[in-house]
Structure 1
């Protein structure tokens, strides 16, 4: 059976889960209008930031969202948390459709749906003390812990590896890693069911990245929190996430469990991304072919017809320009492995998982909530 024939026989268009779906995203779309004029404005186009994506996250699970800069990862995170209004599609969280819930009624949903922001320097109010920053979500939601807000805030600071004595300090007195811990403590204040982490370690040094990633893993195990983990570092995503979704120019092109995606990628774009990851090859005996993509990422204002990756794909044919490939499970794929490609890589194409280079600190034993940052 050829790859083209295989694509004609999709087995399933939905990914199975071990438990109940905590988050269900269907056809999620966000187009930012481009307007011309000063007094009388008219729309002359739109930026297709996110263009009809589907994914699910089960309770206590972690989904990694990866791709090049500008592919729509962060916009997706803000749509899920309703910090941005979607153009189309549906977001169902914990059984409730929150897609168009009025802002004054989103308070209840946001108690269980929190976000960790990318920049630890701009995400904290410099005029507020650490205690105020961590306490504010509880006060706004009318949560009064038996031990009081201050004691609860100090407990949260200890949970993320900071000292209770930091309660009265200001953000400018902390390093980047410590500030990100404060942001994590704030996200934990309401005991959420799901946290959207928008590149939470990209602005940090490598050693501090390891501490934060290990801290998030410890918190996930302790509190059963589900994560949508947005990142461009494939090694970090492999270490943290159970499932991975690959985005390209506003579309999800492949979804699979961690082991399958990193060892048997089916979409050419995923294959190219993995080929760029450094190899662990101290003796020089293994060499993985590097796939260098031609050209630049097309403009999201005018994306290519059909498959959006076709302008840079070495396997593109006429069909790729005519038809947009659906995100489906191919006959040769395992359960939950979805691919959007007319001419996918053969299942036999494999990469060894040990070739993915991780920072040693990511797998080091010891207290991941160390305060040294």
Structure 2
């Protein structure tokens, strides 16, 4: 008897990107080659850091990208901003294909596509003053704001909650949270449409994290910014992002709006991540089941066949090893909730029969 009757119905062929998106990523791949030899080198493999992901970000929207360390989140952010060269796929920003644009022709796109880096200590040049750090992007792009570069830099310092008189100070005179505010001011200098925030609060104290996240929310409302917010802390992502995409081993396994994903996760991996989030209500925390994943994360050099999560999944069956589940919208989900799983976690989803190829010994 077939065990595939529990597989949910799916709307095949639906893409997670739309013509209304400011940022469109389709089948993005970033593979790092592994070479052997000293004089005559040959490629013997590749680290498949990002392996065919698709998503979109609308103007003014915040999309959170979450997952365990090493799943490809930061690599995705760097590929989107073209700090890394994509191996395959397409990146479109504001309707323009920027996947393989040369450095000189990327200048215009980068005015509208900026990045906030994870480490506020290494992302600021210690030999430059704060004013120089903020002014340089404007000068390189030929932008001459009214009142001059110094006045604009001081305005940006005030916008991010710093004293304009700090213009002549050096980064080593500031705390980690203050340095990250300087990085935010630098990102705002060119008046971007979208900011890729690569774990912008992970290196900060908890109390400072809240201040920086609230600052980013205020800036988003004031300037209509869109965000690709990369983080591993699901509590922070829930506070900041309107939609959330979950990554595992170079693949996106689930995308949904914030409330849907946190209340009704469909992929077992998402369920496991959410079970580890600290609960504010002590009674609720005691009643919640904690899911502990067994085994190690597989190597991105040689990922498992079929579903990449199957080696750690408590619901895995034979089909999970032979067929990779596509990221598609499930029937009964009107809010665009998508999951890449043969056996979603949520029981309310309408099930339909999907019959895989029968083995040779089947009657």
Q: Give the TM-score taking structure 2 as reference length.
A: 0.93
Secondary structure of 1:21's aligned partner: coil
Secondary structure of 1:48's aligned partner: strand
> Which residue number corresponds to residue 152 of structure 1?
152
Superposition map of 1:209-358 within 5 A: 209-283=209-283, 286-348=286-348
Are the aligned partners of 1:50 and 1:251 in contact in 2 as well (CA < 8 Å)? yes
Q: Distance in 2 between matches of 1:41 and 1:117?
A: 33
Q: CA deviation at 1:109?
A: 0.3
Q: Distance in 2 between matches of 1:282 and 1:267?
A: 26
Q: Distance in 2 between matches of 1:273 and 1:323?
A: 24
Q: Distance in 2 between matches of 1:136 and 1:326?
A: 44
> Which residue number corresponds to residue 43 of structure 1?
43
1:189 equivalenced with 2:184 (yes/no): no
Q: What is the Cα-based RMSD across aligned positions, in Å?
A: 1.6
Q: Judging changes above 3 Å, is the alpha-carbon distance between structure 1 residues 266 and 144 closer, same or farther for their aligned structure 2 residues? A: same
Q: CA deviation at 1:264?
A: 0.1
Instruction: Give ranges in structure 2 of 5+ residues lacking alignment.
Output: 350-363
Q: Distance in 1 between matches of 2:227 and 2:89?
A: 21
Q: CA deviation at 1:13?
A: 1.8
> Which residue number corresponds to residue 81 of structure 1?
81
Q: Judging changes above 3 Å, is the alpha-carbon distance between structure 1 residues 170 and 266 closer, same or farther for their aligned structure 2 residues? A: same
Instruction: Give CA-to-partner distance per residue, 1:65-115, whole Å, 9 cap, x none.
Output: 000000000000000000000000000000000001111110000000000
Are the aligned partners of 1:79 and 1:85 in contact in 2 as well (CA < 8 Å)? yes
Q: Distance in 2 between matches of 1:236 and 1:263?
A: 16
Are the aligned partners of 1:51 and 1:251 in contact in 2 as well (CA < 8 Å)? yes
Q: CA deviation at 1:37?
A: 1.1
Instruction: Give ranges in structure 1 of 5+ residues lacking alignment.
Output: 350-373
Q: CA deviation at 1:198?
A: 0.1
Q: Distance in 2 between matches of 1:176 and 1:236?
A: 18
> Which residue number corresponds to residue 53 of structure 1?
53
Secondary structure of 1:106's aligned partner: helix
Q: CA deviation at 1:283?
A: 4.8
Q: CA deviation at 1:285?
A: 8.0
Q: Judging changes above 3 Å, is the alpha-carbon distance between structure 1 residues 90 and 284 closer, same or farther for their aligned structure 2 residues? A: closer
Q: CA deviation at 1:347?
A: 4.2
Are the aligned partners of 1:16 and 1:336 in contact in 2 as well (CA < 8 Å)? no
Q: Judging changes above 3 Å, is the alpha-carbon distance between structure 1 residues 166 and 347 closer, same or farther for their aligned structure 2 residues? A: farther
Secondary structure of 2:287's aligned partner: coil
> Which residue number corresponds to residue 15 of structure 2?
14
Are the aligned partners of 1:67 and 1:248 in contact in 2 as well (CA < 8 Å)? yes
> Which residue number corresponds to residue 34 of structure 2?
34
> Which residue number corresponds to residue 118 of structure 1?
118
Are the aligned partners of 1:3 and 1:344 in contact in 2 as well (CA < 8 Å)? no
Q: Judging changes above 3 Å, is the alpha-carbon distance between structure 1 residues 284 and 82 closer, same or farther for their aligned structure 2 residues? A: closer
Q: Judging changes above 3 Å, is the alpha-carbon distance between structure 1 residues 270 and 135 closer, same or farther for their aligned structure 2 residues? A: same
Secondary structure of 1:261's aligned partner: helix
Q: CA deviation at 1:3?
A: 7.7
Aligned residues: 347
Q: CA deviation at 1:146?
A: 1.4
Secondary structure of 2:180's aligned partner: helix
Q: Distance in 1 between matches of 2:312 and 2:148?
A: 57
> Which residue number corresponds to residue 140 of structure 2?
140
Q: Judging changes above 3 Å, is the alpha-carbon distance between structure 1 residues 97 and 317 closer, same or farther for their aligned structure 2 residues? A: same
Q: Distance in 2 between matches of 1:112 and 1:4?
A: 48
Instruction: Give CA-to-partner distance per residue, 1:310-358, whole Å, 9 cap, x none.
Output: 0000000110000000000111323210000011112449xxxxxxxxx
Q: Give the TM-score taking structure 1 as reference length.
A: 0.90
Are the aligned partners of 2:6 and 2:343 in contact in 1 as well (CA < 8 Å)? no
1:70 equivalenced with 2:70 (yes/no): yes
Are the aligned partners of 1:3 and 1:346 in contact in 2 as well (CA < 8 Å)? no
